[in-house]
Every structure is written in C-alpha cells, then in structure tokens.
Amino acid sequence: MIWVAATLIAATAQTARNAAQAGLTREVGTLGATAVRFVFGFPFAALALVAASAWVPLPTPGLQVIGWAALGALAQIAATAFMLMTMRDKGFGVATALMKTEPVTLALVGALVLAEPLGPARLAAIGLATLGVVLASGASWGRAGWGAVGTGILSGALFGLSALGFRGALLALPDGGHVVRAITVLTITLGLQAAIMLAWLALRDRAALRAIAAQWRISVGAGALGAFASLFWFIGFALTPAANVRTLALVEVVMAQVLSGRVFRQSVRPVQLIGMALILAGVGWLLAVAA
C-alpha cells in the first residue's frame, strides 16, 4: 500500500513546512507567507519534472487536466483564506477541528463526481476519525459563533474540493506511472498558484513582495518543503481516493497532541484522549476496508 507511506511522508513534510511558514508570517505577513509555498515551490516542481523527463516520457496534459488542476489550485487558495479568517476570529483549535471535516466532504463529493466507491463501512470510518478530531482539538465550542463555524466548515469543504480537483487531474492524464503523473500535475498546479499569488501581491500588496525577496533564504526552504510534501500528497491521490489519503493524514492530530504533551508540557484533557482514540480507530478501520 504505497499510498499509506506517501501520505505519512507528506504529513511529516507538511508539518515542517508549516513551521517554516509560521516563522515567515511575522516578517512578510499572512498573504506573503501563503504565497511563499507556491512561488518558491514551483521551481522545485519544475526541476523535478525536467529530471523525470530524462528517465521516462512525460504525459501530455489536455484541457481536462488543466481544468481539474485549475479547480484544485483556486479552491486551495480560497480554502487558505477562509482558514486564516477562522483562525483570526476564533483561534487555532476551532479552525483546525472545522477544517478537518474535509474527509467527509471528499468522500461524498468524490462518490458523486468521480464515481468513487463509498460504502457504509468506509463512510463510517471517515466519520469516526473526523469526530475524533473535533474532540481531540480541545476547542472551546461554547465561544465559537456561527460565523466562525461557517467559515471553518467552508474552508474544510474547499480543501476537500482542491484535493478532488488534484485527483481529477491525475486521473485525466492519459498515461504515465503514479510518480510522473504526480510531478506533472504538481508542476501545473504550482505554476497556476504562483502566477495568481504574484499577480495579486503585485496589485494589492507590493510591500509583501519586497519582504519575501528580503527573506529569500527562509522562503526557499519553505518552498522546497512545500513542494516535497505536495508531491507525496499527489502520489497518494494518484493511487487511492483522496478521502482515504486525507483521513489517514488525521493521525497528524494525534502526533501533534503527543508532541505538545511531551515537549511543551501541555496538559491533555480526558475528552481529548477519547478523540485521539477515535482518530486511531477510524484510521485503522479505513485501512482495513481499503486493503
């Protein structure tokens, strides 16, 4: 099950990229830090594509591939904006829990749009793991207004739509193995996102562009980690429905809670322990169903 290994590698690299981006936010602003993952990630994806072309023939993307990739690229940018909006209004815990409803959206929309098998067992496993995330987040739901809930759920739905677009682009490629197809779609996607973010910043926030240029050393590292993580996400999407990949990735929540307890000495409430147990149970159930 190569998709399992690819997903775990992607989740680990994404954690490192998020840490690098968090440090950049203070220097270049939120939009600038968001743009870094695309603008500085694209050259690494392009280099990987050139390297791959020396070994194997590259698939030729048609309009359908471009369309699916554009859907994924735009949805991911919009999802990031709503995520940041939710974090600003109600904090990290609420935003994280609401965004992690993404696998449910993916499973339902994937079944409708891509005719991917759903089944009661698979849907129940995804729902169980998602419920675990809500409990494990430790979010103070009593203070979460409907506005924040709405933007958080919308962010999760858009992240799900972006993953669906990426999988659609991968499936639409006429030939090539899963790795070369992943590199091809990744290069197209990051190219579109880099162009959109550069145009937006040039028109609306030139100060952020200058700040990014001044912090180019850190930005290069964040971009490389981002491209590396995305490559393995795309390999996972090429091999199995995106809902499977995103559900397995929920183990990242458990790892973050364990790290917080051991390194930062943060206490974990009993309800959070129950949530982590539900995540592991849901992921284990999903792997048994998908095997």
The pLDDT value given to residue 165: 93
Contact 278, 246 (CB under 8 A): no
CA 233, 155, 74, 111 torsion-angle sign: positive
Tokens for 80, please give them: 């990031």
Q: Is the pLDDT of residue 263 over 50?
A: no
Does the structure show a pLDDT above 90 at 291?
A: no
Residue 45 has pLDDT above 70, yes or no: yes
Please give the pLDDT value at position 209. 87
Note the pLDDT tens digit of each residue in 84-104.
676 655 555 555 666 666 677
Give the pLDDT of residue 74.
Answer: 94
Half-sphere exposure of 165 (CA within 13 A, CB side): 21
Mean pLDDT computed over 65-84: 88
Domains of the chain: which residue ranges? Answer: 2-290
Higher pLDDT, 212 or 91: 212
Average pLDDT of the chain?
A: 79
CA 93, 99, 101, 102 dihedral sign is negative
Instruction: Indicate left, alpha or beta for 241 from its phi (over 0: left) and psi (-120 to 50: alpha).
Output: beta
Check pLDDT > 80 for residue 232. Answer: yes
Classify burial at 43, counting beta carbons within 10 Å of its beta carbon; exposed 0-12, middle 13-18, buried 19 or more.
middle
Sign of the dihedral through C-alpha 41, 175, 56, 246: positive
Q: pTM, whole model, 2 decimals?
A: 0.80
User: Angle, to 10 degrees, between the axis of helix 206-214 and the axis of helix 178-204?
Assistant: 120
What integer is the mean pLDDT of 116-145?
69
